[in-house]
Structure 1
Amino acid sequence: MSSVSSPIRHPNLTSPQVMTRRGWWLVVLNVLIPGSAQVLAGSRRLGRFGLGATLMLLALALLVGVSYLLWPTMVFTIFTNTIGLWVAALVLAFYAVVWLILTLDTLRLVRLVRAAPKARPLIAVFTTIVMVAVCGTAAYGAYVATTASGFLSSVFVAGPTEPPVDGRYNVLLLGGDAGPDRDGLRPDSISVVSIDAETGKAAMIGLPRNLVDFPFPADSPLAAVYPEGYGAIDGCEVDACMLNSVFTEVELKSPEMYPNAVAEGSEPGIEGMRDAAEGITGLTIQYYVLIDMQGFADLVDSLGGVDVNVTERVPVHTDETFTTVAFWFEPGKQHMDGYHALWYARSRHGTSDYDRMNRQHQLEEAILAQANPANVLTKFQAVAAAGAQVVKTDIPQGMLGYFVDLASKTKKLPIVPVQLTPENNIDPEDPDYDQIRALISAALAPPPSPSAD
């Protein structure tokens, strides 16, 4: 044993060849098994500590990997929880410091001045690059974990979880468009995303913002005010009695209808929109997600832009009279930054509300495709900063792990579009809500199983 370890611990200091080989052995061992260099050539106490830390990290990584294969939802839940993220950050920061100490000590043990002159810079550069890569990666991972913890705390509430209804989770997706010429925020894009709680298969139900006379659920405070439908008898409290006006009316005129909204991570206007969407679709809506279009451009830019297939020319106007076109979106595949994506979603010149709905749904799907883990991690600071300003939701942190796992299934399946448009014989100015619910039920119904021969 001593003959094997002697050249490492007690080398021939006068031989550059021996010291060079020894140097390479030590730095490679430090990379492969941190702590082993110290056990063989330095402080055995430090080496044993380093080996223990390395084995502990490998065991944790193996445990996480096996758990991910067997119980992915549990792993996602841990790493979408503020406590779990802080624990991960501390572990990564600890390992970054341990690796830094072990690497610097390894360089000391190498005794570069005794190695061959040509080998000295190679050993030093190799060791430095690996040290920076490993320590930098661990430090960045710790930074991402702490930033994610702050982001989750600012966006997601700490509330009770909701069970699926009829095997589905239904989420109200609102695109809010606040502006200097508007009294408060008004939903410009309204959808209900219905997701199968087991398979992840999703349907996106686009609700025209100009729907009228829609009913409310019997237990909604708005049902008592509008028993025949919104504005159907004596009008409403705002200028236009349409779907997207519910938010404005409730938020500005009668927020007392929903006294617990703010405490539960919502707003009275959002709760009014939730009741309206439930009345229209006949679905129970467990959660909502509001995306403020004023910050939408920042979110797209933080993701590096989005790829959109433009199917027909779309003009962008320069004033509210819609008389002057600033530029056109030409047909074909285009990569859009935040500014152009926002205008692509907003453009009204020469197009209908249904065209805008289709473009907005296009962008929603493009953002989901662009928000892959690798892209989000490399641009996490910008994404988190933009997301905290753009997104508001009542999805509790306790449900994030489940929804992340479910979303991974959803991304592998085609999204079923359900558009309540004239093409589907839906007239928003004279809608048949029984017909609308039948259309939605047909889209959400599972495919018939093949009959046995």
Structure 2
Amino acid sequence: MSLAASPIRYPDVASRPLMTRRGWWLVVLNFLIPGSPQVLAGSRRLGRFGLGATLVLWLLLVAALVCWFVWPTVVFSAVSMAWSLWILAAVLVFYAVLWVVLTFDTLRIVRLVKTAPSARGWIAGLTTVLMIALSGGASYGAYLAFTASGFLNSVFIAGPTEPPDENGRYNILLLGGDSGPDREGMRPDSMSVVSIDADTGHAVMIGLPRDLEDVPFPDDSPLAQVYPEGYGAIDGCEVDVCMLNSIYTEVELKSPEMYPDAVARGSEPGIEGMRDAAEGVTGLDIQYYVLIDMQGFEQLINALGGVDINVETRIPIGGDEDNDGVDGWIEPGQQHLDGYHALWYGRARYGVAGGDYERMARQRVLQEAILHQFTPGNVLAKFQDVASAGADTVKTDIPQSMLGYFANLAMKTKELPIGQVELVPDNGVDPTDPDFEYIRSLIAQALVPPSPDPSEQPAG
């Protein structure tokens, strides 16, 4: 058939059945291969531009898919850098605008008035729906990319990366900060170190009790010069109690000059003091920290839609040692907790058997429940709220350039059991008179990778 006789470019406009079939074909082609209706029936120049852009997009998607299966770290890195997200957002905006232009031009060359009257509304409606699917989806993707870029810039620094320690592990200090009218400054009430094997993703959570005394510091720490025998071991300290979680308050309020470059490195003097303390207790090199504001923590859980927790014992909300002033209770059993109740589940220590040590165990349960909520679908569905809450909740010195690597490592971690080391009396640790050599031996044993299950070994 010659081009001149093509019913697509040169249709018999007097034949409504032909024009209707032609209209349906052009609308579907515009959705499947944007630019092709223009090449076949409209402006070839616009069509070639649209087809070229479509081909480039397909190639980019194929390349991304290949990278996802072959080099997933590359994909994670691309979506965890603010500048790359800006580029992604700009590309998506370009395609959103292009698809709107191509769709309206497709409607023009369809010539609705020449189609069957009964089909005009359906053709126009389908065209609109498909345009919303393409351009609307691209616009929403651009919005997510812009939002994510702002979140990354507000939380993660652009500093240098750190190598694994001598044992090939990354050690990250996790702090849950809390403040109140009865306290002098903020004190981290939740302290732990997560140690992750840089190759396998094997992770161990090390719970540090807030009331640990005589905390040692590394030799190169400025705090070691002030407390050579341990924190408050000889002449006390500069705050009301000389326990592990008081170190943040003392350094931040009394001696910030000990760490003059802390802020420039995306940290705080108090956090650096806690990092030195954690290194002294565990014997590990702490490369990074993550500080979570417990008040913002409530907003983050609400943004995620709450958490599901099996509550083992009745938990008071508020109150003191005698349960005076209790505002309510979290009852035993399987519970879906909002941010407020989840915060008290992890915070309460009065009126609960086990006190601080029971609270440490609940905090680990809460951490796992939150991680369970961080599914891609859940985060994407509530991304704006999650990003907003996260920006107000999290402070860290993990650089953006490491996010892709850690995201890939986290996928390996999810496939392995997470080790737990709680430095509590049940494990032979006396917080008032701790044996730090024993503590470090406990940690060293836990960091040994688990042996493969013999049942999973191939037959010889």
Structure-1-length-normalised TM-score: 0.96
* Counterpart position of 1:240: 241
* Counterpart position of 1:108: 108
CA distance in 2, matches of 1:447, 1:358: 22
Deviates more, 1:44-53 or 1:439-448: 439-448
CA RMSD of aligned residues (A): 1.8
Matches within 5 A, 1:424-435: 424-435=427-438
CA distance in 1, matches of 2:252, 2:139: 44
Matches within 5 A, 1:29-178: 29-165=29-165, 166-178=167-179
The one-letter amino acid paired with 1:392 is K
1:320-346 CA-to-partner distances (Å, cap 9, x unmatched) read 863143322222222111111111111
Name structure 1 gaps, 5 residues minimum.
none
Answer whether contact 1:210 1:243 (CA < 8 A) is retained: yes
CA distance in 2, matches of 1:274, 1:5: 78
| Offset, 1:3 | 6.3
Counting aligned pairs with the same residue, the percent is 68
The one-letter amino acid paired with 1:109 is I
1:163-205 CA-to-partner distances (Å, cap 9, x unmatched) read 0011100000000002333222110100000001011111111
CA distance in 1, matches of 2:404, 2:328: 43
Aligned match of 1:413 in 388, 413, 416? Answer: 416
Asked if 1:212 corresponds to 2:197, the answer is: no
| Offset, 1:406 | 0.8
* Counterpart position of 1:260: 261
Answer whether contact 2:252 2:270 (CA < 8 A) is retained: yes
Deviates more, 1:442-451 or 1:428-437: 442-451
* Counterpart position of 1:379: 382
Answer whether contact 1:313 1:329 (CA < 8 A) is retained: yes
CA distance in 2, matches of 1:319, 1:240: 19
CA distance in 2, matches of 1:302, 1:131: 30
* Counterpart position of 2:18: 18
Q: Structure 2 vs 1, CA of residues 145 and 429 (structure 1 numbering), >3 Å: closer, same or farther?
A: same
CA distance in 2, matches of 1:393, 1:37: 51
Equivalent pairs counted in the alignment come to: 453
* Counterpart position of 2:443: 440
The one-letter amino acid paired with 1:401 is G
The one-letter amino acid paired with 1:49 is F
Runs of 4+ that moved beyond 4 A: 318-321, 448-453
CA distance in 2, matches of 1:133, 1:307: 34
* Counterpart position of 1:369: 372
CA distance in 2, matches of 1:384, 1:260: 28
Answer whether contact 1:5 1:40 (CA < 8 A) is retained: no
1:383-439 CA-to-partner distances (Å, cap 9, x unmatched) read 111111100000111111111111121122221111111211212112111111111
CA distance in 1, matches of 2:293, 2:412: 26
Structure-2-length-normalised TM-score: 0.95
CA distance in 2, matches of 1:153, 1:404: 17
CA distance in 1, matches of 2:370, 2:4: 58
* Counterpart position of 1:272: 273
CA distance in 2, matches of 1:322, 1:310: 19
1:241-275 CA-to-partner distances (Å, cap 9, x unmatched) read 00000000111111111111111100110000001
CA distance in 2, matches of 1:367, 1:200: 19
The one-letter amino acid paired with 1:407 is A
Deviates more, 1:369-378 or 1:218-227: 369-378
| Offset, 1:448 | 4.4
Aligned match of 1:354 in 330, 354, 357? Answer: 357
The one-letter amino acid paired with 1:150 is G
Asked if 1:179 corresponds to 2:180, the answer is: yes
Deviates more, 1:410-419 or 1:274-283: 410-419
1:41-87 CA-to-partner distances (Å, cap 9, x unmatched) read 11111111100000010011111111222211122112211221111
Answer whether contact 1:211 1:429 (CA < 8 A) is retained: yes
CA distance in 2, matches of 1:368, 1:222: 34
Name structure 2 gaps, 5 residues minimum.
none
Local SS of the residue matching 1:157: coil
The one-letter amino acid paired with 2:434 is P
* Counterpart position of 1:229: 230
Local SS of the residue matching 1:240: coil
Answer whether contact 2:320 2:351 (CA < 8 A) is retained: no
Matches within 5 A, 1:289-328: 289-318=290-319, 322-328=323-329
CA distance in 1, matches of 2:335, 2:114: 59
1:348-397 CA-to-partner distances (Å, cap 9, x unmatched) read 23121111111112111111111122211221111111111100000111
Local SS of the residue matching 2:37: helix
| Offset, 1:206 | 0.5
Local SS of the residue matching 1:430: coil
Deviates more, 1:244-253 or 1:1-10: 1-10
The one-letter amino acid paired with 2:69 is L
Asked if 1:400 corresponds to 2:400, the answer is: no
CA distance in 1, matches of 2:258, 2:56: 55
CA distance in 2, matches of 1:319, 1:39: 76
CA distance in 1, matches of 2:96, 2:55: 15
The one-letter amino acid paired with 2:429 is I
